[in-house]
Structure 1
Amino acid sequence: MRAADLLIKCLEQEGVEYIFGVPGEENLDVMDALLDSDIKFIVTRHETSAAFMAGTYGRLTGKPGVCLATLGPGATNLLTGVANANMDFNPVIAITGQAGLNRQHKESHQYYNMEAVYEPVTKWNTQIKSPDIIPEAVRKAFHTATRERQGAVHLELPEDVAAMDVEAEPLPVLGHSDSSAEDEVIAKAVNMIEDARHPLILSGDGVTRGGAAHALRGFIDVLDLPAVQSFMGKGTVSWEDEHSLLTAGIGGKDYITCGFAKADLIIAVGFDMVEYPPERWNPDKRAQIIHVHTEEAETDAHYPVALNVIGNIESNLEKLAQAADRVTRDNNWVNDVRQEALDELKQFENDAHFPVKPQKIIHDLRSVLGPEDIAISDVGAHKMWMARMYHCYEPNTCLISNGLASMGVAVPGAIAAKLAHPERNVVAVVGDGAFGMSGAELETAVRLNVPIVVLLWRDGGYGLIEWKQLNDFGRASNIKFGNPDFIKLAEAYGFEGLQVTDSSKLKETLEQALALNKPVLIDCQVDYNENVKLTQKLGEILC
C-alpha cells in the first residue's frame, strides 16, 4: 500500500475521529488517503487555529487531537498552536508535510529544517525517512503525547516518502502503566498534614488530566482541608463546596493571598509551575510543600518540597484519604475569604452601568450556563476577570490557557469543544483583539453547523496591556485599534448577530443566544475602567 494510506490506517487504529488542518501540496497523498477513511478532516482557515482545535479536543477528551499542515509557512503557522498545547499539557499530534528527501540537502523552495524548529516546543518529534517506520512512529507519538505530563508530538512526512509503497500494519494500542506512592510515603504525608496548623491545598491542571477530581474532593472532606485552584485547575473542587477558596493566579494581592500567607504547609496536587509562579504565593519561602503529582517538580527556590508523593494522582489521593483519620478544623477564616469573593460577584447582579462592567458579564454568564456547560476564555483582560470570578462546578468547564497563553484560542477552541461535547452549551469568551487573530473561524463553525456562542468583549484595544501599562507607568502606549461592525461581520459569515446596548438585557441576550441552537455572536461593549479599580481594591486588602 501507499505510505500515506498506512499513516491513515495507523491513525484509525489509535481511534482518531478528526484531523484539523489546511491541505497543501506536500501532503497531497495524505489528503487523498483520507477520502477512503472514516476520519473527518476539518478544514480550518488558518493552521494556528487547527492546532488550537486539536489542543482543546485533546484536553477535553484525553485523546490526542490531530492537526495537519504542509511544509514551510504551513508548518510555522501551526507551530504557535502546537507550542500552546505543549505548555498547557494538552495531548496533540502535529503532522506536517515536507520537501522530498532528494532536495533537503540544498537550498530549496519552502524548505526549512522543521525538526529543529519543533524540537523546543514538543515532547518528541521526528521525520519519517522511511515508510517502514510509520507504525512505530505513530504508536510512539500517541504513547508519548498521552504519557504524563501530556503534551505535543510532531511527525514530519516528506512528500516522496508519503508516495512510496510499503508492506506494514498498524501496531496494537497499549495503555500506560500506573504506579502509586509507597505506604511509608503516604503515612509521612498524612502525619505532616495532621501536624500542620494551617494546611492548604493548591489544586492544578494535573488533577483534571488525571481524572482525579472526585478523589481530591474525598481527600479534602476527610481532612477538612481548605483548597484553592489554579486558573487551569478550576472546577477540581466545586465552587459550592465550603472548603473552596476559589481561584488563585491573578498578579498581586487578592482575597486568597490571605490563605497563602496563613498556610504553613501547602499540598500541591497536580500543580505545574507554569500555572502560577511559586514566587507569587510563597514569596518568603516559608511554607513547606507536599508535592502530589505523577513526577517530581521543577526546581524552584520558592517551591521547597518537603515530600514527594509521586505516581497516579487519583490513586495516591485515595490512599491518603484512607490512611488519615477524619478531622474537623477551625476553618472560619475560609468562610470569611469565600464570602468576600462570592459577595463581590453577587453585588453586580443588578448593575445597570453601560458599557457593561466585567463583573456583570461574568455574573450573567455564570447564571445562564449549566454545571457542565463549557466556557472557553481567550487571552486578554477578560481572561483575568474570568479566571478570578467565573466559578466552576466541574473540571474542564472553564478552559483558560495559562501556559504559553496565546491569543486567538477561544473561537477555534469552542468549535473543537462542541465537536467533543455536542450535548453541552459552549461559549467562547473573547476580546476584540484576540478575535481579530482567529475570527475567520466563524466560517468554519457555520460550515460545520456547530452551534457555539461567541461572547465578544469590545473595548477597541489591547486591554490587558493597557491595564499593566497604567499600573506601571500611569499612562498607556499604542494599544488602541479600530473595529469592524461585528454584527454585520458575523452575519456575513452566517452567524446570528446580537448586540448588547443595555446592561439589564445582557442575561436575556445570553439566554436567547443559547436557545437559538445555532452559531451566534454577541457584541458586548465592556467598561475596562474597572481594571485599574480592581488593582486599587486589591492593594487595600489586609490579611
Structure 2
Amino acid sequence: MKASDLLVRCLEKEGVTHIFGVPGEENADFMMSLRGSPIRFVLTRHEQGAAFMAEVYGRLTGNPAACLGTLGPGATNLITGVGDANMDRCPLLVITGQGATKRQHKESHQVMDVVEMFRPVTKWAIDIRHPDTIPEIVRKSVRLARSEKPGAVLIELAEDIAKRDTEAVPMEPRRFRRPLAGERVLDSAFEMLKAAKRPIIIAGNGAIRRRATKQLRLLCEATGIGVLNTFMAKGAVGRDADYCLFTVGLQQKDYAVHAIDEADLVITVGYDLVEYAPRLWNPTRSKQVIDIDFLPAEIDADYHPEVEVVGDIAYSLRMLRARFEKQGVPDYDFSGQRKWRNRMIEDMAAHKDDDTEGAIRPQKVLWDIREVLGPWDILLSGVGAHKMWTARYYPADRPNTCLIPNGFCSMGLPLPGAIAAHLVHPDRKIMGLAGDGDFMMNVQEMETARRLNADITMVVWEDGGYGLIAWKQDNEFGTHTDLSFGNPDWLALAKAFGWEGEYVRKSTDLKAALQRAVAHKGPSLVVVPIDYRENPLLTKRLGQIGVTI
C-alpha cells in the first residue's frame, strides 16, 4: 500500500474514530485513503474549530481524536487549539501536510518548519521521512498522547512521502500499567494525615480520571476531609456531598482560599500549577503539603511538598483509605470547612428568584442553567468574565460535565467543543456558554453544527465588549481602555445558519427559554443581555470576607 494508506490503517488499529479538519492539496492522498475507512472525517469551517473539537473529544473519552490541516496557514490555524489541548492535558493527534521533500530545503510556496513551530505546544512533534517508519511513529504518538500527563502530538506527512509505496504493517497496540507509589511513601503521607487536625484536599485536573474520581470520593466518605476542586476538576466530588467545598481558582481571596488558610495540611490530588498558582494559596510558604499525582511535582518556590506520592492516583488514594480503615480516622475538626461550604451554598442561591428586565445577573443565569441540566449533562465554558462566574457559581455532580479551559485559556472553545461533546454523548444535553466576544471567534462553526444536526444549545452572554479585561483593568487602574464592540442581529444570525434562536430580556423568562432550547432537536441559540455591573460588586464582596479559625 502507499504511505497514506498505511497511516490510516495505523490510526484505525489505535482506535482513532474521528478526525476533524480542513484538508488542502498536500493532504489529498491522505483524504483519499480515508475513503472507506471506519474513521469519521468531520469537515470544519476553520482549523481552530477542528482542534477544539478534537480536544474536547479527547477530554471526554480519554482517547485521542485527530485534527487535520494542510501545510502553512492550515497548520498555523491549528496551533491555538492544539496548545489549549496540550496544556489542559487532553490526548490529541495533529496531522498536517507538507510540501514535497525536494523543496523543503529552500524558499518555497507555503513551506514553513511546522514541526519546530509545534514543539512548544505538543509533547512530541515529528515529520515522516520514510513510509516504513509510520507504524512506529503512530504507535509512539498515541502512547505519548494518552500517557500521563496526556497531551498533543504532531505527525507531519509530506505530499511526496504520502505517495510512496511501503510493505510495512501497523503495530499491535499494547497498553502498560501505570507505576504505583511505594509503601514507604504512602506510610509517610498517612503519618502526616494522622497528625493533622484540619486537613483539606485540592483536587486538580488529574483527579477527574474515572478511577481517581471514584477513589477520591471513597476516601472522603471514609474520612470527611473536605475537597476544593480547581476549574478543570469540577465534579471530582458531587455538589451534594458534605465534603464538597466547591471551586478554588479566582484571583481574589474567596471562601475556598480561606478554607485553605484554616487548614494545617493540604493534600493536592492531580494538581496542575498552571491552573492556580501556589502563591495565591500558599503565599507565606508555610503550608504542609502532600502531593499525590501521576508524575513528580513541578518545581515552584511556593509549592515544595513535604511528601510526594508519585504513581497511579487511584491506587494511592485507595491505599490511604485502607490505612484509615485499619487504624481509624483521627478526630478532625471540620467545623470551619462546613461553615465555608454553607456560605458558598447561600451565595449561589442568593439571586435564584431575581425578577429583572433588560439585563440579567450572571448568578441567575447559572442557577437556571444548573436547574435545566441533569447530573450527566455537559456544560462547556469559554474564556472571559463568564468563565469566572461559571467556575464559582456552577457546581457539577460528575467529572467532565463542566469543561472550563484553564491552562492555556484560549477563547473560542464552547461552540466547536459542544459539537464534539454531542458526537461523544448524543444522548445527553449539551450546552455551551460563551461571552459575545468568545462566541464570535468561532462563529463559523454554526454551519458545521447545522450540517451535522448537532443537538446542542449555545448560551451567549451579551455585553458588547471584552468584559473580563475591563474587570481586571478597573480593579488595577480604576478605569479601563476602550474594549467595546458591536454585535450581529442574533436572531437573524441564528436564522441564517438554520438554528433556533431566542433573545431573553427578563430573568423570569430565562428558565423556560433554556428548557425550550434543550428540548429542540438540533442547534439552538439563547442570547442573554448580561448584567456585568455584578463584576465589581463581586470583587468588593470577596475583599470583605473575614477569616476566623
Give the TM-score taking structure 2 as reference length.
0.98
Match of 1:117 in 2: 117
Match of 1:188 in 2: 188
| TM superposition shift of 1:35 | 1.0
Match of 1:411 in 2: 415
Match of 1:540 in 2: 544
Contact 2:56/2:420, CA 8 A, preserved across alignment = yes
Distance 1:304 1:196 in 2: 18
Distance 2:43 2:239 in 1: 38
Amino acid paired to 1:331: F
| TM superposition shift of 1:176 | 2.5
Bigger mean CA offset, 333-342 vs 291-300: 333-342
Match of 1:474 in 2: 478
| TM superposition shift of 1:210 | 5.6
Distance 2:369 2:223 in 1: 33
Contact 1:215/1:314, CA 8 A, preserved across alignment = yes
1:155-174 map, 5 Å? 155-174=155-174
1:109-508 map, 5 Å? 109-209=109-209, 211-324=211-324, 325-354=328-357, 355-508=359-512
Q: Deviations over 1:168-225 (max 9, x none)?
A: 1110011132221111211111110110122110001101136311100111122221
Contact 1:210/1:313, CA 8 A, preserved across alignment = no
Q: Indicate the SS of the match to 2:337.
A: helix
Q: Deviations over 1:331-388 (max 9, x none)?
A: 1212211111111111211111230000000000001100010000000000000001
Distance 1:389 1:327 in 2: 32
Q: Indicate the SS of the match to 1:250.
A: coil
Unaligned runs of 5+ in 1: none
Contact 2:180/2:310, CA 8 A, preserved across alignment = yes
Q: Indicate the SS of the match to 1:11.
A: helix
Contact 2:198/2:332, CA 8 A, preserved across alignment = no
Distance 1:221 1:40 in 2: 42
Q: Indicate the SS of the match to 1:266.
A: strand
Contact 2:450/2:523, CA 8 A, preserved across alignment = yes
| TM superposition shift of 1:237 | 0.9
Amino acid paired to 2:40: K
Q: Deviations over 1:290-311 (max 9, x none)?
A: 0100111111111121001111
Amino acid paired to 1:370: G
1:521 and 2:525 are equivalent in the alignment: yes
Distance 1:65 1:248 in 2: 30
| TM superposition shift of 1:478 | 1.9
Q: Percentage identity across aligned positions?
A: 47
Amino acid paired to 1:378: G
Distance 2:492 2:175 in 1: 49
Distance 2:145 2:76 in 1: 20
Bigger mean CA offset, 99-108 vs 33-42: 33-42
Q: Indicate the SS of the match to 2:274.
A: helix
| TM superposition shift of 1:245 | 0.8
Q: Indicate the SS of the match to 1:302.
A: coil
Contact 2:377/2:429, CA 8 A, preserved across alignment = yes
Distance 2:130 2:209 in 1: 34
Match of 1:38 in 2: 38
Q: Deviations over 1:381-411 (max 9, x none)?
A: 0000000110011110100000000000110
Distance 1:432 1:380 in 2: 10
1:49-60 map, 5 Å? 49-60=49-60
Amino acid paired to 1:435: F
Give the TM-score taking structure 1 as reference length.
0.99
Distance 1:21 1:417 in 2: 16
Q: Deviations over 1:53-107 (max 9, x none)?
A: 0000000000012110000000000011101100001000000000110001100
Amino acid paired to 2:282: N
RMSD over aligned Cα, in angstroms? 0.9
Match of 1:76 in 2: 76
Q: Deviations over 1:494-542 (max 9, x none)?
A: 1100110211010010111111122100011101010010000101011
Contact 1:186/1:323, CA 8 A, preserved across alignment = no
| TM superposition shift of 1:327 | 4.2
Contact 2:67/2:94, CA 8 A, preserved across alignment = yes
Amino acid paired to 1:521: L
Q: Indicate the SS of the match to 1:141.
A: helix
Structure 1 residue runs of 4 or more that deviate by more than 6 Å after TM superposition: none
Amino acid paired to 2:298: E
Contact 2:26/2:159, CA 8 A, preserved across alignment = yes
Contact 1:294/1:310, CA 8 A, preserved across alignment = yes
Amino acid paired to 2:184: E
The count of aligned residue pairs is 543
Distance 1:270 1:29 in 2: 41
